Structure 1
Amino acid sequence: MQLILVLIGAFIVFILSTLTGGGASLLLMPLVAVVVGIKAVAPVMAVSIGMSSTSKVLLFWKYIDWKLFAWLFPSTIVGSILGASLFASMSSDYLQLLIGLLLVSTIFQFKQKKKPRFKVKAWHFAPMGLVVAFLSGLIGGVGPLMNSAYLNYGISKESLLGTRSANAILLHSTKILSYAYYGYMTGEVLKYGILIGVTSMVAVYFGKLILAKISDNFFRQIVVASMVLSGVLMLWKNWGTVEGLI
């Protein structure tokens, strides 16, 4: 019964993830933890999100910005390997709090309709990708942390999803290999990861049908809203750490 609830939750979450440009990991982590335990969440999510990203790439292939992907390519590999190598030994509570605050702060950056003062350029994605990949490998998922950069860069909703997903395949494939090397990719992890992944691929297709009916401006609004919500969830998840600091 728990697995059925997780798969239903995954279907809903990955539809929402397609409409908001990402963030499925943060929404799904609590459900997955109930079934496989906290320590197996990151490897399971790496498998399932890698599969969902593959379906997004197939659906949005013609919209991918390969220039951005080229800038992200080396930093994503290096960052994810470094993060996964520290996965077992480093406490991630404070990092999750910081990421949560960064995500929540997005609402202040985009609350006005005027364009942001800082214009993101293609080469900026290399250092940003290194940091995000490292954090993703370390704590399992960082939500739509880079979506504000994609929005500031000025690409369409289809291009954001396609480019972000192409990079996600690279990110999660590297994480899977790294987790396997360090002994975290067990048969149980693969089983749950593939089950959730297949569910996510079906959900992405339905999400694309809905996406075609919304405007770029509305997409931008729900992306920002999802970033803030992801940040709030991350802060709530680590509220015990916050209380310890007060």
Structure 2
Amino acid sequence: MLSGIVGTGSSMMLMPVLVLFFGPQQAVPIMAIGAVMGNLGKVFAWWREIDWKACGAYCATAMPGAALGVHTLLALPAHFVDIALGVFFVAMIPTRRWLARRAVRFNLWHLALIGAPVGFLTAIVVSTGPITVPVFTSYGLERGAFLATEAAGSLAVYATKIAAFKELGALPANVVVKGLTAGAALMTGSFFARSVVIRMKPSTFRLLVDGLMLSSGVSLLWAATGQ
């Protein structure tokens, strides 16, 4: 539900738990399946608000980038993935604030240029919501339009990740079941969140995102030091 309100955050909240119980190599495809269902819930809830031009420009390069990122992830040691996830989430706090202060206005070409590296990073660090939030809002999307378009773009990227995991044999049946379980809860929460979005203040949104990134990043780094 919280993810449905702020437009991101499900991966940041769930990843420390999934890594703790299943390890990073399983946690990433589990979260990818869950994220597909969670974003699908947002797309259904805000279908009429989707900016298809912005979504298409972003996905054109983000999807190939995600496929390449999956190949890279599976070649990395598990301990390194834990550390990379933790550092990334914590580092995104000042990075997101820096991007927001610049108030840069993006067009479709900017979305296409940004899509490739963001898609690649999404495959490795699971969630790049802290980056995509200022990217899509800088294009001029707000509230329902932002939630719907960001979710549609993320849906395509995560679907590409799942296809790549399956092709590489990293998607056994037990991982699929765990992903569907997490995804069903995320999808349900997205619908309950709709009524709250309109009343959400920008300052509250920023604090929620920063708090999620900090707690998740610290949790993952703590788990990595214990290995």
Match of 1:181 among 156, 163, 167: 167
Superposed CA deviations along residues 72-117 of structure 1, whole A, max 9, x for unmatched, are 1221211100000111213443475245323333335547xxxx45
* Residue in structure 2 matched with residue 97 of structure 1 by the alignment: 87
* Residue in structure 1 matched with residue 214 of structure 2 by the alignment: 232
Per mean C-alpha deviation after superposition, the further-off stretch among 90-99 and 131-140 is 90-99
* Residue in structure 2 matched with residue 71 of structure 1 by the alignment: 57
Match of 1:119 among 100, 105, 120: 105
Cα separation, 2, equivalents of 1:230 and 1:182: 31
Q: Would you say how many aligned residue pairs link Structure 1 and Structure 2?
A: 221
Whichever residue aligns with residue 65 of structure 1, its letter is: D
Cα separation, 2, equivalents of 1:55 and 1:240: 32
* Residue in structure 1 matched with residue 126 of structure 2 by the alignment: 140
* Residue in structure 1 matched with residue 205 of structure 2 by the alignment: 223
Kept after mapping to 2: 8 A contact 1:79/1:133:
yes
Cα separation, 2, equivalents of 1:85 and 1:102: 24
Kept after mapping to 2: 8 A contact 1:80/1:136:
yes
Q: Which runs of 5+ in 2 are unaligned?
A: none
Cα separation, 2, equivalents of 1:119 and 1:79: 23
Kept after mapping to 2: 8 A contact 1:104/1:232:
no
* Residue in structure 1 matched with residue 43 of structure 2 by the alignment: 57
Runs of 4+ in 1 over 6 A off after TM superposition: 240-243
Cα separation, 2, equivalents of 1:126 and 1:43: 25
Please give the secondary structure, in 1, of the residue aligned with 2:58: helix
Describe how 1:2-41 pairs up with structure 2 within 5 A. 15-41=1-27
Cα separation, 1, equivalents of 2:221 and 2:44: 39
Kept after mapping to 2: 8 A contact 1:103/1:228:
yes
1:20 deviation in Å?
0.9
Cα separation, 2, equivalents of 1:166 and 1:109: 22
Cα separation, 2, equivalents of 1:103 and 1:188: 34
Tell me if 1:157 matches 2:139.
no
Tell me if 1:44 matches 2:34.
no
1:38 deviation in Å?
2.8
1:180 deviation in Å?
0.9
Kept after mapping to 1: 8 A contact 2:93/2:210:
yes
Kept after mapping to 2: 8 A contact 1:105/1:228:
no
Q: Taking structure 1 as reference, are residues 158 and 211 closer, same or farther at Cα in structure 2, changes over 3 Å only?
A: same
Q: Taking structure 1 as reference, are residues 189 and 241 closer, same or farther at Cα in structure 2, changes over 3 Å only?
A: closer
Q: Which runs of 5+ in 1 are unaligned?
A: 1-14
Over the matched positions of the two proteins, sequence identity in percent amounts to 21
Cα separation, 2, equivalents of 1:229 and 1:198: 24
Cα separation, 2, equivalents of 1:158 and 1:235: 28
1:70 deviation in Å?
1.6
Cα separation, 2, equivalents of 1:209 and 1:121: 30
1:175 deviation in Å?
0.3
Please give the secondary structure, in 1, of the residue aligned with 2:131: coil
TM-score, normalised via structure 1 length = 0.80
Q: Taking structure 1 as reference, are residues 206 and 98 closer, same or farther at Cα in structure 2, changes over 3 Å only?
A: closer
1:240 deviation in Å?
6.3
Calculate the aligned-residue CA RMSD, in Å. 2.4
Q: Taking structure 1 as reference, are residues 206 and 167 closer, same or farther at Cα in structure 2, changes over 3 Å only?
A: same
Kept after mapping to 2: 8 A contact 1:64/1:162:
yes
